[in-house]
Chains A and B, each alone.
Chain A
Amino acid sequence: MLKDKKKSCVIYFDNAATSFPKPDCVTTAVVHYLTQIGANPGRSGHKLAIEAGQIVFKTRKSIAALFGLKNPMHVIFTSNATEALNTAIKGVLQKGDHVVTSSMEHNSTIRPLHEMEKEGIISLSIIKADKIGILDPEKIRKAITAKTKAVVINHASNVIGCIQPIREIGKICRENGVIFIVDCAQSAGVVPINIDQDNIDILAFAGHKGLYGPTGTGGMVIADGFDFKKIKPLKYGGTGSLSDKIEQPDFLPDRFESGTLNVAGLSGLLAGSEYIQNRDGGIRGILEHKIELQNYFIQQAEMLIKDFCCYSSFQLPSTGVVAFSINNFSVSETAQILSDKYGIMCRQGLHCSTLAHQTIGTFPAGTLRFGFSIFNKKEELDLAVQALKSISESRNI
C-alpha cells in the first residue's frame, strides 16, 4: 500500500479531512463484504444476511470498546459525523432551550445551532476560546443558565489541532444537569476517550478520519446511563424490527437507524478500528506519534523557511494538525503549487470553521493545513519543508 503511494509520488497530508492511505486490512474487508457477503443486514434470515449482521455487530462492539462504552447497542451508525451531530443537536433541543457552544466549532455543529436560533427555537451562547484555541471551562460554567439544555463542544480543532479539556467541561455539565454533546470527529482514534470518565452524554465520530475507515461512515455514541428517549430521531423508516407496526421502534439502535446501513463502509471501519486499537502503544501511541511529527515539522519549518508563519502551538498536546501560511503567498496559491509541482496534498482555506479562524486571527485569509496520519514519515516532512522553502524563496528576489 505504501509502496503504491510512493510510486505515484504522492505525499498525503490531508488526513484531517479524510485519512489516506488506509491500512490494507480495511481494503480487504470492504472487498470481502462486496464479493463474498453483499447482503442486507437485519432484514432477511438467510446465511449471508446474518453474516452482514455480524459485521455490523462486531463494528458496534469495536467502537464501544474504543470509547469505553459497555452497551454496544448505544453505538448508532450514521453516514458521517455531521449526521450524528445533527441527530444529537436537533434530537435533544426543544423550543425555549438555551445552548452553550464554542468559537472552535465546525460547521456541522454551528450551522444546525445557528439555524435553530434563527428560527427562534433556541438561544445560543458562543464562548470564545483564547488565541491558541483553548476554552476556559469556567467561562462555560458562567454561561450556563436555568434554561441551558446542552453544551456542545468540539473536542479537537480541525483548524489547529488543539485539544479541549472535555473532562472538566463535562464535570461542569454534570453538576448543572446539562446534556454534554461532544464532537469527536477529529479526536476519535487519536486521543484516548472514555465516555464515562470524560463525562460525555452523546458523542459524534467520523469513521473516515482517525479510525481509517472508508468515507460514508461515522456514528453517534450515547453514554450507557443516558436516557436516550430524550433524543428524538432525525430519520424514521424501516429497521427490520416491529414490521407489523407503523410506530418507530423505541429501543436502540433501531430508534435511530432507519434504512439500510453502509455495510461495505462498516466492514472497512471495523478493520480500521481494530487496526488502531491493536497497534503497539494503542491510541496513546498514535497521539504521541502525531505530536512528534507535528513538533518536528514546526521546528524544521521555523528553522529553514524565512516567511513561515505557524498558528498551531508547538509542544502543546495536539492531534497532529498544523495550520500555517507563507508570507507573501496566498494559501490557495501555495496549496496549488504544493499539489501540482510537489505532489503534496493538503487543505487550504477556512476548513468549514469561520469562527475558529476568527478566534486565532486568520480570518478571512485562512491557512494551509497539514494533518498527519500514522503512516506519515519524517522523510515526507523533510520533503515538504524543502518544497515550502523553495516556494517562499521564489518571490524573494
Chain B
Amino acid sequence: MKAVILFHSTNHAIWAENELKSHKIVCKIISVPRHLSSDCGYCLQINAEDKEEAINLLNTNNIEFEKVEIL
C-alpha cells in the first residue's frame, strides 16, 4: 500500500524528499493523484508502512506539509 504526503509548495516537497532519502526511506515525487486536491502540483509518494517515521522526520525538521493520504 502507498501513501502520499501533500505540501503547500513544491519547495517543501523536494526538501522532504531529500530528508526522507537521507534516512533511507523509499519515496518518490509524483504528480498529485487526480482524486486528491493539493496546493501544489506534486506530492511525495511513500510506502504506507513508513508513514509514521516519515511524519516524525518532517516534524523534527520543521518541514511543513498539508496532509498525508493513504492511497
**Same complex origin of A and B:** yes
Q: A-side interface residues toward B, CB under 8 Å?
A: 41-46, 50, 53-54, 56-57, 60-61, 71-73, 239-244, 249, 251, 253-254
Kindly identify which residue among A46, A73, A244, A249 contacts B15, using a CB–CB cutoff of 8 Å: A73
A239 to B64 CA separation, bound complex (whole angstroms): 17
Interface presence of B11 (CB below 8 A): yes
Residue B9 at the A interface, CB < 8 A? yes
Q: In the complex the two chains form, what is the Cα distance from A249 to B12 in whole Å?
A: 13
Q: Which residue of B lies closest to A41 (CB)?
A: B10
Task: Assess the B62–A71 pair: CB atoms within 8 A.
Answer: yes
Residues of chain A contacted by B53 (CB below 8 angstroms):
none
Would you call the interface of chain A mostly helix, strand, loop, or mixed? loop
Q: Would you give the 0/1 interface string for B38-49, flagging 1 where the beta carbon is closer than 8 Å to chain A? A: 011110000000
Tell me which residues across on chain A come within 8 A of B10, comparing CB atoms.
41-43, 53, 240-241
* 5 A-B pairs with the lowest CB-CB distances in the bound complex, closest first: A45-B31, A42-B10, A45-B42, A241-B9, A57-B14
A43 vs B10: C-alpha distance in the bound complex, in angstroms?
A: 8
Q: Which residues of A contact B15 (CB under 8 A)?
A: 57, 72-73
A43 near B14 with CB under 8 A, answer no
Complexed CA–CA distance, A240 and B30 (Å): 15
Residues of A within 8 A of B40 (CB): 42, 240-243
Decide: A241 near B29, CB < 8 A? Known: A53-B10, A54-B14: no
Q: How far is the CB of A223 from chain B (nearest CB, A)?
A: 14
**Measured CA separation A44–B10 after assembly (Å):** 9
Contact check, B41 vs A43: say whether CB atoms are below 8 A apart: yes
Q: Do the beta carbons of A50 and B8 come within 8 Å of each other?
A: no
Asked if residues A242 and B62 are in contact (CB atoms below 8 Å), the reply is: no
Is B32 a contact partner of A249 (Cβ separation < 8 A)? no
